[in-house]
Structures are given as C-alpha cells and as structure tokens.
Structure 1
Amino acid sequence: MTGRQQRDRAAWQHVDLPGYARELEERVAFAWRAMDAFYEEDQRILGHAADAYHRIDIRPASRDLEIRDGDRLVARSSHPTVLYESGFAPRWYVPRDDVDQSALTPVEAQTFCPYKGLASYYDIGDSAKAAWSYRDAYAEVAAVSDMVSFEPDRVAVSLDGKRLEPEPGQGVVSHGIDRGLDADEPQHP
C-alpha cells in the first residue's frame, strides 16, 4: 500500500450466517466502484471481473448476412463471422469492407467487456447504438477485431434470407457503470 484513503461503505462482511454459508464467515467483500483497482495475481482487472466459466467461440461462415435500415442496405456479406458467447444469442460480425460506412454514425459512448475489450458504438439512421465494433479486440478474440456487429432489434438482420429476432432471455444486460473505467485506462496485454 502506497497511501491511505478512506471510503465509506467500501467493504462489508456477513455475520450470523446459517450453517450452509459458514465458508463466508471470515471473508470480506469490497465495493467495486470504491476501489482504485482490482487485480488477479499481477494482472489488473478492468471493467468488471471475468467469469472463469464463461466461454467464447468464434467461427467463420460462408452464409449470406444482410443488414437493412428500412430500404437502405447497410451491409451484405457472404463471409461473416459468428461469435458464440455463454448466455447470449449468437452475434454475427461483418468485415468493414462489406459495410456501407456512410450508414454508421459513431457514438461517443463506449463499453468495456472483460472478454473482448473496448466496444465502440454506431447509430444507424434513427436507431441508436444499432451496431458496435471492437476496433482493437483482445488477442483471444482477434477474429472479430474491427468487424461490425448489428442489433437485430434495431435494424433488420437477415441470415440466409431469414430475419433474425432477439431470442428470449438472451438480451444483453448491462452491468451498469463500472468503476470509472474510460478509454484512457491501460488496456489488457
């Protein structure tokens, strides 16, 4: 510890636990946003902690993927990439060369994923944050780096002529604002 700071309600401990939870008796939990940083061994954890049982698989495909905003063709690809992630519907990514770049309006907001990195968002027409990209994705998911993915509930995403619909229970639920993370923080090695 290099300095001392005090923060209210930064840690807590459970007391008078039932027998089945006794393993928590001597443990202390820390409020994520109250801490300056968290580490796993010597590596700084950015955003929120990753789940060791979370899985991502990425596969190239030779299927036809088309994205439309009303009558406007936003993207068409015969070689998209699909990303399968624990708990989520498959996400289809399109090479930038297959996207009408003039259809994408960059948005200031970014989010952080401990598995993929920093995501940038785009509005498409009147649809806010209808697309996103990991411009510099982590090495583990480099196959989708700088590709673009689209929200099927905001623009029309069709795979082999069939429109994709968001699957029940597989919507992305934001963890909320992470502990002051911004694009200037150090990136994952």
Structure 2
Amino acid sequence: MTVDPVLQSPAFVDAIRNPEDPNHLMVIKPVMRKIRVFAGETLLADTTNAIRVMEVGRGVYDPVIYVPETSLQSPFSELSKSTHCPIKGDASYVAIGGDEIGWVYKTPLEMSLQLKNHYAFWPDKVRIVEGN
C-alpha cells in the first residue's frame, strides 16, 4: 500500500499507524491547559492531564479530548455497546441517566496504551472548557 506523501511529513513522525493501512493513523498529544467537561451544568470531569487525539482514517477526523478516569466527577453507567478500532482497540460506551454520552478504552491495543482508562465524550452532548 502506498503511503500518502502528506502523511510522511515530520508532523506525523510519532504517529501511531494501523499496520494494515499506514494511511490510518493518530497522533496523541498532551493538552497543556486545564480541561473541564460539562453536561448541561453538571461537571463530568476536571483535569490538567487530558490528551488530544488527532486521527486520519477515511478522512481527517475532528480532534478528540480524552480525560483520565481519575478526573471524573460524575458517575457513569456502562452500556453493553462496544466497537473496535484497529489502532486503538475495543471501546466501551458510557451513559448518564441512560443517555449514551461517551466512550473509554479500558484495554487498548499495546501501541495505544496512552488511551487506557481515558474517557472521551460526544461533542453534541457535552461542553468542553479548555483553560481557566
């Protein structure tokens, strides 16, 4: 398979790549500011240890902020839903009040261990505040 020349640039030197498709990749970077996640006025997470995942697959996906489990401020219920990503692993989904709100990688693939026990949220269901 031919790798897109753009995806060979220095910006992607540390990217985690799908072994079956090197054009499917992600870059994980720390967020250098405080992150708070809200559902309405309910604080879901508060952290200075978030990470941002930028992924290229079938297209360029919007960046996603993941917060560590230790930063969660509200209880979540686990749903029976799961999905698989060839560069992240198996995602489990979580809800508040029965409404699916996000996902977590409890046992990510070895190449994506930085995501272990980090939660991400559907952007149309939460408000993310970056900075003070």
TM over 0.5: yes
Residue identity (%)? 26
Bigger strand fraction:
2
Map of 2:11 onto structure 1 = none
Uncovered stretches (5+) of structure 2, i.e. residues with no partner: 1-18
Kindly indicate whether residue 64 of structure 2 is the aligned counterpart of residue 94 of structure 1. Answer: no
Map of 2:121 onto structure 1 = 150
Map of 2:95 onto structure 1 = 123
Map of 1:181 onto structure 2 = none
- State the secondary structure of the residue aligned to 1:79: coil
Deviation at 1:129, TM superposition (A): 2.2
Kindly indicate whether residue 35 of structure 2 is the aligned counterpart of residue 62 of structure 1. Answer: no
Shift of the 157–149 alpha-carbon distance from structure 1 to 2, 3 Å rule, reads same
Range with greater deviation from structure 2 (58-67 or 109-118):
58-67
Structure with max Cα Rg: 1
Deviation at 1:101, TM superposition (A): 4.7
Map of 1:105 onto structure 2 = 77
TM-score, length-scaled by structure 1: 0.54
Map of 2:54 onto structure 1 = 84
Shift of the 50–157 alpha-carbon distance from structure 1 to 2, 3 Å rule, reads farther
Map of 1:167 onto structure 2 = none
Distance in 1, Cα, partners of 2:129 & 2:123: 9
- State the secondary structure of the residue aligned to 1:73: strand
Uncovered stretches (5+) of structure 1, i.e. residues with no partner: 1-48, 162-189
Map of 1:179 onto structure 2 = none
After superposition, the CA RMSD in angstroms is: 1.8
Kindly indicate whether residue 22 of structure 2 is the aligned counterpart of residue 52 of structure 1. Answer: yes
List 4+ stretches of structure 1 deviating above 4 A.
none
Deviation at 1:60, TM superposition (A): 1.5
TM-score, length-scaled by structure 2: 0.76
Distance in 1, Cα, partners of 2:37 & 2:74: 13
